[in-house]
Amino acid sequence: QVQLVESGGGLVQAGDSLRLSCAASSRYFMGWFRQAPGKEREFVAAFSLSTSNTYYADSVKGRFTIARDAAKNTVYLQMNSLKPEDTAVYYCAARSYFSATYRTTGAYDYWGQGTQVTVSS
């Protein structure tokens, strides 16, 4: 059983930065998703713990960075130049290996509880 514990959400102004953390109990392929009110959950970024490859949605490329601290078994999502449209509940997700379907929610077996990110204009 994998446990995912997220932290780091909050209320910020447009242009500010936030860093989300996801502590995982095991080594897995990790993803971040987000869900805004009335919208479907969407892919944000992913990190392969075995290859260190990173993957991003076009909407966050160049502004968000996913990285990990192996010693802490934690994956981070550094979010810079935040925009009001980034407002959502952000979820950490995990699966056991890379899949070509990594951008879909169905590809992941484990999910965190979510953390709210609100960006005011």
Q: Is 70 exceeded by the pLDDT of residue 23?
A: yes
How does pLDDT run across 27-57, given as a tens digit for each residue? 689 999 999 999 999 999 999 988 889 999 9
Q: Which of 41, 24, 44 is nearest to 96 (CA)?
A: 24
Distances (CA, A) of 111 to 33, 64, 84: 10, 20, 25
Q: Is 90 exceeded by the pLDDT of residue 111?
A: yes
Please give the mean pLDDT across all residues of the chain.
Answer: 94
Average pLDDT over residues 16-24: 95
How does pLDDT run across 62-84, given as a tens digit for each residue? 999 999 988 888 999 999 999 99
Average pLDDT over residues 86-90: 98
